[in-house]
């Protein structure tokens, strides 16, 4: 691919698009894409630009990005309590990292659109029958029967409305007083309160409360937006290119193209080919872009990706999300950082300690060990410090609910306990308590 070629929102169609569903009826598919392309944008260009400016700060070490949420959102889980619990734990983590870590935290949810999944295989075997793989609620249904797995383009339309409903509530919570710093203590979750993490959180929340009361007492207004509101951004993997194309609009104030399905879009480890359709599509929209980088990455490919997606070397445009695994981080990260530093690329370096630490436990569950997650994060910080580069963010699969999907953590969940509350439809997530534990760990390191 040469960047000299003209970009249009459909130019990705001239390139190979991996991980796309086999939509059975192209007429129905095109109709859905047409319908989507006239619906209102989910996010606005001005918000996207604000996020990019904040990420530019993260690339210089002046802020830190916290990105987290479900591996895969489900339509049935789009409920007020679920959205509130996810937001609540992200707010808790962010307050810990800001107060104890001393850095502004950029809050980005894997939410309001994380409905499509790449799969390692097109099909799977269930009781001796080969059926198409589940590819996320925006494509097919999870039930392990053939009929449920046939891709239905109408699910993309439903995904749009689910994202709109989620965003609507998120905007209400973050603007309407729920996220006010007067409420930090109230965010603590019942099942977390009694744990060591819950108690540490409570102590910190009390200090913030006192600080706010003090400001109020001496006459500093505390009903200002910085105290009573928060900025919250959305993100998902830009996987279904037809959907993303339909959500891509020209910003009337600048004439530039933005993908208005979410503020930040990322390219997955399986679809980041430099000459592939995903890279072609995303090079033309001005959103901040994330790229997942796995342990088998080639340094030259990473360079070409950066040059293609960010030819102007604009700070805040690119986040490289390394997901190397505890076994490989120590070998893969140093030369990668060194080379990118030598090139002078402006990058937000973020750590995804989840995706390369997945394994199947003895009981047969897909899980991750809290210690591996913790260690990949620690290793990430240490290597950045050693190389003189900047650790700028973390990318987590997590939930506000009391699930038992990852082993370890303060309550030391073991393999035999995983089945108690194993609710994920894709990858195992940190529960609220494990997430808070990670937030305290990161706070300790970002104040470094
Ligand atoms: C994900 O983030 O859910 C994912 C599939 O990640 P990766 O592309 O890094 O495997
Ligand atoms: Co995942």
Distance CA 65, CA 168 (A): 22
Bridging pattern class, strands 348-351 and 391-397: parallel
Question: Is 295 touching ligand 1 by the criterion CB < 6 Å?
Answer: no
Question: Is 110 touching ligand 1 by the criterion CB < 6 Å?
Answer: no
Question: Is 292 touching ligand 1 by the criterion CB < 6 Å?
Answer: yes
Ligand minimally distant from the alpha carbon of residue 292: 1
Q: Is residue 334 within 8 Å of residue 383, measured between CB atoms?
A: yes
Mapped onto helix, strand or coil, the DSSP state of residue 63 is coil
Nearest to 404 by CA among 388, 427, 421: 421
CA dihedral 406→412→417→423, nearest 10 degrees, is -30
Hey, whose CA ends up nearest to atom 6 of ligand 1?
Answer: 268
Mapped onto helix, strand or coil, the DSSP state of residue 208 is helix
CA–centroid distance, 13 to ligand 1, in Å, is 23
Nearest to 49 by CA among 219, 212, 188, 251: 251
pLDDT in tens, the chain (448 residues): 444 689 999 999 999 999 999 999 999 999 999 999 999 999 999 999 999 999 999 999 999 999 999 999 999 999 999 999 999 999 999 999 999 999 999 999 999 999 999 999 999 999 999 999 999 999 999 999 999 999 999 999 999 999 999 999 999 999 988 999 999 999 988 878 888 889 999 999 999 999 999 999 999 999 999 999 999 999 999 999 999 999 999 999 999 999 999 999 999 999 999 999 999 999 999 999 999 999 999 999 999 999 999 999 999 999 999 999 999 999 999 999 999 999 999 999 999 999 999 999 999 999 999 999 999 999 999 999 999 999 999 999 999 999 999 999 988 999 999 999 999 999 999 999 999 999 999 999 998 7
Going by the DSSP 8-state scheme, the letter that residue 301 receives in this structure is H
- Label residue 135 exposed, middle or buried (CB < 10 Å: 0-12, 13-18, 19+): buried
Distance CA 262, CA 41 (A): 9
CA–centroid distance, 227 to ligand 1, in Å, is 34
Distance CA 252, CA 132 (A): 41
Whether the full predicted model's pTM is greater than 0.75, yes or no, is yes
Nearest to 237 by CA among 389, 384, 369, 110: 110
CA 257-262-268 angle, to 5 degrees, is 95
């Amino acid at each position: 691919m040469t960047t000299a070629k003209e970009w249009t929102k459909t130019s990705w169609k001239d390139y190979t698009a991996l991980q796309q569903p086999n939509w059975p009826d192209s007429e129905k598919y095109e109709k859905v894409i047409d319908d989507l392309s006239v619906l209102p944008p989910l996010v606005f260009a001005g918000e996207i630009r604000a996020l990019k400016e904040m990420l530019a700060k993260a690339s210089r070490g002046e802020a830190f990005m916290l990105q987290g949420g479900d591996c895969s959102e489900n339509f049935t889980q789009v409920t007020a309590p679920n959205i509130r619990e996810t937001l609540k734990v992200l707010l808790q983590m962010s307050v810990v990292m800001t107060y104890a870590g001393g850095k502004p935290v950029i809050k980005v949810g894997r939410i309001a659109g994380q409905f499509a999944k790449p799969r390692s295989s097109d099909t799977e075997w269930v009781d001796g029958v080969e059926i198409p793989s589940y590819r996320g609620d925006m494509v097919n249904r999870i039930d392990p029967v053939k009929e449920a797995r046939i891709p239905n383009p109408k699910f993309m339309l439903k995904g749009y409305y689910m994202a709109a409903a989620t965003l609507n509530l998120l905007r209400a919570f973050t603007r309407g007083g729920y996220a006010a710093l007067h409420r930090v203590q109230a965010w603590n979750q019942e099942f977390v309160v009694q744990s060591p993490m819950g108690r540490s959180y409570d102590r910190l929340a009390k200090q913030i409360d006192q600080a706010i009361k003090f400001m109020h007492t001496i006459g500093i207004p505390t009903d200002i937006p910085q105290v009573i509101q928060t900025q919250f951004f959305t993100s998902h993997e830009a996987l279904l290119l037809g959907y993303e194309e339909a959500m891509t609009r020209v910003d009337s104030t600048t004439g530039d193209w933005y993908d208005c399905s979410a503020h930040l879009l990322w390219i997955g480890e399986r679809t980041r080919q430099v000459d592939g359709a995903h890279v072609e599509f995303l090079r033309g929209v001005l959103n901040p872009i994330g790229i997942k980088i796995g342990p088998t990455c080639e340094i030259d490919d990473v360079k070409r990706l950066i040059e293609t997606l960010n030819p102007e070397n604009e700070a805040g445009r690119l986040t490289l999300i390394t997901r190397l695994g505890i076994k490989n981080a120590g070998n893969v990260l140093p030369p990668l950082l060194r080379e990118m530093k030598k090139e002078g690329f402006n990058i937000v370096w973020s750590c995804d300690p989840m995706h390369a630490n997945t394994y199947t436990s003895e009981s047969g569950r897909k899980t991750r060990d809290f210690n591996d997650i913790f260690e990949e994060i620690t290793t990430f910080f240490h290597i950045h410090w050693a190389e003189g580069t900047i650790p700028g963010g973390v990318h987590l699969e997590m939930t506000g609910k009391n699930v038992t999907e990852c082993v370890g953590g303060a309550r030391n969940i073991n393999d035999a306990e995983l089945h108690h509350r194993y609710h994920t439809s894709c990858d195992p997530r940190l529960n609220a308590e494990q997430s808070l534990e990670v937030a305290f760990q990161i706070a300790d390191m970002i104040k470094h």
